[in-house]
Amino acid sequence: MTQPDSPVRVDYVATCQLPTQWGVFDMHGFEEVGGREHVVLTLGEVTDGAPLTRIHSECLTGDALFSLRCDCGFQLAAALEAIAAEGRGVLVYLRQEGRGIGLINKIRAYKLQDGGADTVEANERLGFPADMRDFRIAREMLAHLGVTAVRIMTNNPRKIDTLQQAGIEVAERVALQVGRNAYNDHYLDTKKAKLGHLFGL
């Protein structure tokens, strides 16, 4: 995972309520120095212990357009449902589309995948690393909300390592394996084989 030498600074902007099908969350807005905007959804008391937490990178195609090419939208919905069932938790939504390459390059990568490349090969053929996301930017947002330890919903061990290196205690990994289908089978298998994602545990 390619990351800058130091984490990007993010500033808190405002908080409002966000009613959803799973319940009424508090939505906290943050802005990077440099432009990107991120949000954190919280439910209930999150400063005590290690709340159930999902750090989710933006996926317009999966989250909003219901694509079956990935498992992102399924993971987002499952995470919010799990937080609601527990009565408290955190969802950090980071604006780093396409594992950091952006929406238009993601479409170009999808075109290469249509021609037979896997998700890692497609990014690399476009001149990008396999994964450009920087999960360390979540640290300042979590710190602002008083969250210092998490039970993280993820299949990505690199995300856990990055959070721990940034000073966030990961008390537990909670598997989030949802949404496998005929269109994303190869994508999920590639994430396991080439990116080390933890499936089947």
Cα separation, 26 vs 30, in Å, equals 13
Residue 179 marked as a ligand binder = no
61: Cβ contacts below 8 Å, ≥ 6 apart: 67, 69, 70, 72, 106
Cα separation, 25 vs 18, in Å, equals 5
Q: What is the pLDDT of residue 130?
A: 87
- Rounded average pLDDT over 52-57: 96
Q: What is the pLDDT of residue 6?
A: 61
Active-site position among 71, 133, 134, 136: 133
To the nearest whole number, what is the mean pLDDT of the chain? 91
Active-site residue, 125 included: no
Does residue 77 carry a pLDDT above 70? yes
pTM, rounded to two decimals:
0.91
**pLDDT per position as a tens digit, 104-123:** 999 999 999 999 999 999 99
Q: Which two tokens stand for residue 185?
A: 């089978």
Active-site residue, 114 included: no
Residue 54 marked as a ligand binder = yes
Active-site position among 131, 134, 151, 173: 131
**pLDDT per position as a tens digit, 121-136:** 999 999 998 888 888 8
Q: What is the pLDDT of residue 1?
A: 42
